Amino acid sequence: MTKRENPKWNIVDASFVAGVTAPDRLPPPALAEVAFAGRSNVGKSSLLNTLLGRKGLVRTGQAPGTTRQLNFFGARAADGLELVLVDLPGYGFARRSKNERSSWGPLIENYLSKRVSLRAVVLLVDVRRGIEREERELIEYVSTATGASRRALPVIVVATKIDKLAASARKTAVVRVARELGHPAYGFSARTGEGRGELWHALRKAILTEG
Ligand code: GDP
């Protein structure tokens, strides 16, 4: 059990709810949602499986650009808390056609700016790769696009694959990511489970205080 792990937060039930390719196909906004964004290969599918405690629920190792739909996963914790984790398509446009690129934006932008049940956005950054233009753009978008109709969404940054750094270098690397982006950041490893408890703590706090 890693730091802050709480048995009551264990996910006792997790399932795929819907894969959505058009804004008018979104499931009803019945439960609090947290959306996960990050460049392809950042470790998003692995992180979601680790959070949900289910190895193969979210497909890992996909080629960049192959998941262009929003995937909704329902989860229920041992203490009864229910929420929905939303896997946004990975960005990083290198291997996509122009056509695919233009179909990525509107769906995500519509979801991020209008979804009433969305409580927080988790932005994943590979701890070794650091922050690039797309990460800044996404944060900028989330902090401005939601202005008129509701409160700005909290952004939680996750530095992924921290097992790739020496234990002594992890804390400094995560602090650097947080400082550069101006949002709280958590280190995470899907390989070892490090950071899982801390991230659940942050997610639950965002859901319970914003809800
Ligand atoms: P996604 O494209 O963002 O969904 O990334 P995946 O979850 O499919 O992971 C991409 C690659 O990174 C795979 O080869 C994973 O095994 C690897 N990976 C994901 N998370 C971790 C991690 O925490 N540590 C290490 N060492 N590798 C990871």
pLDDT of residue 63: 58
Q: Token digits for 44?
A: 């998003």
pTM of the predicted structure, to 2 decimals: 0.91
Is any ligand 1 atom within 6 A of the Cβ of residue 189? yes
Cα 112 from Cα 35, distance rounded (Å): 8
12 pLDDT higher than 70: yes
Is any ligand 1 atom within 6 A of the Cβ of residue 65? no
Residue 138 binned pLDDT confidence (cut-offs 50, 70, 90): confident
Tally of CB atoms within 10 A around 93: 15
Is any ligand 1 atom within 6 A of the Cβ of residue 160? yes
What domains can be seen in the chain, in order of their start residue? 7-208 (3.40.50.300)
Which positions ≥6 away from 190 have C-beta within 8 Å? 43, 46, 47, 49, 50, 160, 161
Q: Which residue has the tokens 């940054």?
A: 157
